[in-house]
Amino acid sequence: MTIVFAVANQKGGVGKTTTSVNLAASLGLMNREVLLIDLDPQGNATMGSGMEKKELPHSIYDVLIGEKSAEESLVKAEAAGYDVLGSNSDLIGAEIELLDLDRREYRLKDALLGFGGKYDFIVLDCPPALGVLTLNGLVASDSVIIPCLLYTSDAADEGLGVDL
């Protein structure tokens, strides 16, 4: 049975991508079959997995708008130890294009059905917004990991951390 984790937070800079890539790599090192899906148009999880986002033959964008299947769009990240459904700036257009499509919030969940239990874990790196891309990630997931920065008075004195 596949377990799907969405790593999400509306705030940027809290470690969503770092958490996603490190979780995928750690699970891969434990000999688990892992798929990392980069739902962020910035494509940092794609690049953090050792791929050039501008050179992807297909991306999660193609999957979400229905031009390619998830299986056709996979890239093996051999050095990282997991598979990647990558992202690039094309994904910016998906926010608008998905609004007119049927089952817009279920597009990712429906696409993942094609894997039929191939993966032990799927990790979804969500963008820092509560738009249709993050909504797709939340609908497709079994659990949500919400990274956040901790704030301490010592950090404030040093100019570190985030004011809450």
pLDDT in tens, 75-130: 999 888 999 999 999 999 998 999 999 999 999 999 999 998 999 999 999 999 99
Flag whether the pTM goes above 0.85: yes
Q: Fill in the DSSP letter of residue 117.
A: T
CA separation for the pair 59, 38 (Å, rounded): 9
Q: 34 pairs with which residues across the strands?
A: 121
